[in-house]
Amino acid sequence: MFDRQPVLYNERVLIRPLNREDFGALYAVASDPLLWELRPASNRWQKDVFKQLFNAALDSGGALTVIDKGANQIIGSSRFNVPDLKSSRAEIGWSYLARDYWGGAWNPEIKRMLMSHAFRFVDTVYFRIGDENMRSRRATEKLGTRLSEETEIIKMPDGAPVRHVIYEITKQEFADQPLLPS
């Protein structure tokens, strides 16, 4: 069984299961409109819209809270999705980090921790990203992922269809990567 809500940690980061009490701290992160500006659902900074995302994350059974251990504060969230364990694929997605944590080692460090965990159970990890979200696409490419030929059209809450691209990495490709600097 894939443990979709592990507790993972290193010197700087604690990743633990999301809980209801995290709403206020996560909304403080998510209320920044710039976090969502390139995402298909760019209105998630609005409290009522974020509440729907937060509740869906709780209901998913795979949502995680990311904490900066040094500052002892919640800095973001991510989620595991394993639609079919027989396929030996897991998705890491619905991720967001406070803007103060963009552009450095935080995202790669967090994603490497999540991938390391996932590869205990599956052979491939994938990321589904809105086609036009170049910020997330570049960050995902820096993880050593590759753009697959697979795409998906996903209907957004407003009914608009949005093309998503899929990036993936195999367990072997991940193992062959040099360690990223902290």
Give the sheet arrangement for strand 73-81, strand by strand: 8-9, 13-17, 63-68, 73-81, 89-97, 124-130, 161-170, 146-155
Residue 2 lies in a domain: no
* Structural domain contains residue 3: no
Ramachandran sector of residue 38 (left: φ over 0; alpha: ψ -120 to 50; beta: rest): alpha
C-alpha closest to that of 172 among 124, 132, 128:
124
pLDDT higher for 10 or 39?
10
Q: What's the pLDDT score for residue 161? A: 82
Give the pLDDT confidence score for residue 180 in this predicted structure: 54
| pLDDT value of position 14 | 98
User: Does 70 fall in a domain?
Assistant: yes
pLDDT value for 153: 84
Kindly state the tokens that stand for 23: 């709403």
Query: In the chain, how many domains are there?
Result: 1
* Within a domain: 26: yes
Least confident of 8-17, 26-35, 69-78, 172-181: 172-181
Output the pLDDT for position 177: 84
In a 13 Å sphere around the CA of 95, the CA atoms on its Cβ side amount to: 27
- Per-residue pLDDT at 179: 66
Domain containing residue 134: CATH number:
3.40.630.30
Please report which confidence band the pLDDT of residue 182 belongs to, taking 50, 70 and 90 as the band edges. very low
Q: pLDDT above 90 covers what percent of the chain?
A: 76
160: pLDDT strictly greater than 90: no
pTM: 0.92
Q: How confident is the model at residue 127 (pLDDT cuts 50, 70, 90)?
A: very high
Other CB atoms within a 10 A radius of the CB of residue 75 amount to 21
The mean pLDDT of 6-29, rounded to a whole number, is: 98
Domain presence at residue 71 = yes
Over residues 158-162, mean pLDDT? 76
Residue 181 domain-assigned (yes or no): no
Tens-place pLDDT, residues 67-125: 999 999 999 999 999 988 788 999 999 999 999 999 889 999 999 999 999 999 999 99
- The verdict on residue 120 lying in a domain is yes
- Mean pLDDT (the chain) is 92
The domain in which residue 54 lies consists of: 8-176
Structural domain contains residue 182: no
H or E element at residue 80: strand 73-81
